[in-house]
Amino acid sequence: MGILEKIAEIEREISRTQKNKATEYHLGLLKAKLAKYRAQLLEPSKSSGAKGEGFDVMKSGDARVALIGFPSVGKSTFLSLMTSTESETASYEFTTLTCIPGVIEYKGANIQLLDLPGIIEGAAQGKGRGRQVIAVARTADVVIMMLDSVCTIALLNCPKPNIYFKPKKGGGLSYNSTVPLTHCSEKLVQLILHEYKIFNAEVLFREDSTPDEFIDVIVGNRVHMPCLYVYNKVDQISIEEVDRLARRPNSVVISCGMKLNLDFLLEQLWEYLALICIYTKKRGERPDFSDPIIMRRGASVEHVCHRIHRTLASQFKYALVWGTSTKYSPQRVGLTHIMEHEDVIQIVKK
């Protein structure tokens, strides 16, 4: 029996098993086995064969965004509109057969946009180069899921489970929780760990997590990233439907054909990437607003020093900062001071 048949059999057993107190351990084991088989599907094939065109694209710029979606939803048109890259577009499916990179220039930042081939049913099993698409998407900072406005999809932006898990060489299972648990118990956790041949570990639940979330932590190859759902071709539906889609969480409605709402999409993308602009200033001169330093939200003065030069932090004496992160303008700060968007910094060396 192949992996796909095993997955289908487990999914059928899960669907026909009633969820109650008596079956929670059985369901937990089934979900653990299901996660193991699905992880095997994403592993590269070991069979030798002719090498095809690769998906490797060198990471560049200040952030990376993966553009994925079903065939013929307008991904290539979107890439051509937002960047200077021309991606082949047509009314038929599968015009994009490999990864095509482009660069969005916005607020002084260079955001790398990757147009990936359209995903189809069975992509996780490798259909339609699905494994390569998923592998590239895992390297992105944000995923844009582009959809036709007539499509519907479950919205998934799952945060990383707040569970501490550390395998040990001995000592058995150390199980604790800081909150009351309604989905997991010590026995269920132990059964799931045994399914993965783990008999010694420390487990600490900091939130009321489900068995699926605990399995994600054990597997360790899950990537939790923000996803922005972009509904294209809204010029082809009613205004009531546009309003309904726009009110969905993590969603933006656009029309590449009529160039509608693209500016708002860029604003949302900037927020999802959590980027900020930092301007530098030399003593006795005006700030340089032409060439900002692009950092992640939460960056400190020390991060800014490393971005300017790797030895600057060791020569750092203090910094003067103007902007919303300070009470006074300017304010003398140290390396641990957290910068905010459009702050101005002047660094004084020893």
> Of 81-90, 112-121, 193-202, which gets the smallest average pLDDT?
81-90
Kindly state whether residue 22 falls inside one of the protein's structural domains. Answer: no
255 and 149: one domain?
Answer: yes
Q: Give the CA distances from residue 163 to residues 5, 25, 174, 190, 252, in Å, rounded to whole numbers and listed in that order.
A: 32, 19, 13, 15, 32
149 and 82: one domain?
Answer: yes
196 and 345: one domain?
Answer: no
Q: Which domain holds residue 335?
A: 276-349
Kindly state whether residue 7 falls inside one of the protein's structural domains. Answer: no
Final residue belonging to a domain, choices 184, 203, 219: 219
265 and 148: one domain?
Answer: yes
Q: How far apart are CA 248 and CA 243, in angstroms?
A: 9
123 and 243: one domain?
Answer: yes
Instruction: Tell me which residue of 95, 93, 113, 94 sits closest to 103, measured CA to CA.
Output: 113
122: left (phi over 0), alpha (psi -120 to 50) or beta: left
Q: Give the CA distances from residue 245 to residues 77, 142, 241, in Å, rounded to whole numbers and listed in that order.
A: 21, 20, 6
Q: What is the mean pLDDT of the chain?
A: 83
* Tally of domains in the chain: 3
Kindly state whether residue 107 falls inside one of the protein's structural domains. Answer: yes
Cα atoms found within 13 Å of the Cα of residue 278, Cβ hemisphere only: 26
The SS3 assignment for 190 reads helix
Q: How far apart are CA 316 and CA 204, in angstroms?
A: 40
Question: Alpha-carbon torsion 22, 23, 24, 25, what sign?
Answer: positive
Q: Sheet holding 316-322: strands in order across?
A: 288-296, 275-280, 343-349, 316-322, 331-333
pLDDT band at 91 (very low <50, low <70, confident <90, very high): very low
Tokens of 50: 């002719």
200 and 121: one domain?
Answer: no
72 and 147: one domain?
Answer: yes
pLDDT band at 56 (very low <50, low <70, confident <90, very high): low
| Average pLDDT over every residue of 112-129 | 68
With beta carbons less than 8 A apart as the criterion, state whether 341 and 324 touch: yes
Kindly state whether residue 34 falls inside one of the protein's structural domains. Answer: no
| Average pLDDT over every residue of 308-330 | 92
pLDDT at 92 over 50: no
Kindly state whether residue 292 falls inside one of the protein's structural domains. Answer: yes
Q: Give the CA distances from residue 312 to residues 195, 251, 288, 345, in Å, rounded to whole numbers and listed in that order.
A: 50, 41, 19, 14
Q: For residues 96 and 327, which has the higher predicted lDDT (pLDDT)?
A: 327
pLDDT at 325 over 90: yes
Kindly state whether residue 41 falls inside one of the protein's structural domains. Answer: no
Q: How far apart are CA 9 and CA 270, in angstroms?
A: 43
| Average pLDDT over every residue of 72-100 | 69
Kindly state whether residue 86 falls inside one of the protein's structural domains. Answer: yes
Scanning the structure block, which residue is given the tokens 């189809």?
A: 120
Q: For residues 76 and 330, which has the higher predicted lDDT (pLDDT)?
A: 330
pLDDT tens-digit readout, 128-166: 566 777 778 888 999 998 887 655 444 556 788 899 999
Kindly state whether residue 4 falls inside one of the protein's structural domains. Answer: no
**Please, where are the H alpha helices in the chain?**
3-16, 24-42, 75-82, 130-137, 186-195, 211-219, 239-246, 262-273, 301-308
81 and 151: one domain?
Answer: yes
Tokens of 167: 């395998």
Q: Give the CA distances from residue 300 to residues 43, 61, 282, in Å, rounded to whole numbers and listed in that order.
A: 38, 20, 19
Question: Alpha-carbon torsion 221, 227, 233, 239, what sign?
Answer: positive
Q: What is the pLDDT of residue 123?
A: 54
Strongest mean pLDDT among 4-8, 45-49, 150-154, 345-349: 345-349
pLDDT tens-digit readout, 196-241: 899 999 999 999 998 888 988 888 777 778 889 999 988 888 999 9
pLDDT at 93 over 70: no
- Listing DSSP states for 7-76 in one string gives HHHHHHHHHHS--STTTHHHHHHHHHHHHHHHHHHHSPP-S-------------SSEEEEEEESTTSSHH
233 and 123: one domain?
Answer: yes
Q: What is the pLDDT of residue 163?
A: 93
Q: What is the pLDDT of residue 155?
A: 55
With beta carbons less than 8 A apart as the criterion, state whether 228 and 143 touch: yes
Q: Give the CA distances from residue 218 to residues 178, 194, 333, in Å, rounded to whole numbers and listed in that order.
A: 19, 11, 41
> Of 72-76, 107-111, 194-198, which gets the smallest average pLDDT?
72-76
82 and 127: one domain?
Answer: yes
Tokens of 246: 């726009």
Does the pTM exceed 0.85? Answer: no
What is the number of helices (H) and of strands (E) in the chain?
Answer: 9, 14
- CATH number of the structural domain spanning residue 244: 3.40.50.300
- CATH number of the structural domain spanning residue 327: 3.10.20.30
Q: What is the pLDDT of residue 151?
A: 54
Q: What is the pLDDT of residue 314?
A: 92
282 and 180: one domain?
Answer: no
68 and 149: one domain?
Answer: yes
